[in-house]
Amino acid sequence: MDELDLSIAKELLKNCRTTYRELADKYNISINAIYKRVQNMIDKDIITAFTAKPSSTALKSIEINIFGTSKANNLNDVITELGENEAVFFVGIAGGNFLIIGAYLRDISELHKFTSFCIRVAKLENYTECILNLLYTTSPESLST
């Protein structure tokens, strides 16, 4: 995997519906070359799925991330249990058992319960909650005097 493959993978992570033509135009290479590179990443399990991520505005939800270091013995079990929660749309693992958990909550009142669930399941230490998008910040109501 070279720098171009990494760039292509990042583009597809941002928007998995990006066409090969759009990628080819962006990187000034042929559509066939893009296809071969993407297929090679699929064959090597670098790309394992193409998943659409709806916007929190469309879902009328709050998008959050929780990240921190996991003290769990088996991260595969952690990922499986986190993935069974309907709110979770993403679980990423970085070096040192650092987890990033992305979720959509119906409203802010679910934050504490969801965070507690993540801490318990992933045995998170030194975690941070990050609210990425609040519905009212994306569709503001008009103010009155």
Q: What is the pLDDT of residues 5-47, one digit of tens each?
A: 999 998 998 888 899 999 999 999 999 999 999 999 999 988 8
Report the alpha-carbon distance of residue 113 to residue 47 in Å, rounded: 32
* Buried/exposed code over 118-128 (b: 16+ C-beta within 10 A; e: otherwise): beebbbbeebe
**What pLDDT is stored for residue 49 in this prediction?**
85
In the chain, what are the domains?
A: 3-43 (1.10.10.10), 56-138 (3.30.70.920)
* Tokens encoding 30: 């042929």
Distance of CA 139 to the CA centre of its chain: 23
Number of CB atoms found within 10 A of residue 16's CB: 13
Q: Tell me the mean pLDDT in the region 51-57.
A: 69
90 - beta bridge partners? 102
**What pLDDT is stored for residue 134 in this prediction?**
64
| pTM of the predicted protein model | 0.61
The pLDDT of residue 140 is above 60: no
Convert the pLDDT of each residue in 62-80 to its tens digit.
Answer: 889 999 999 999 999 999 9
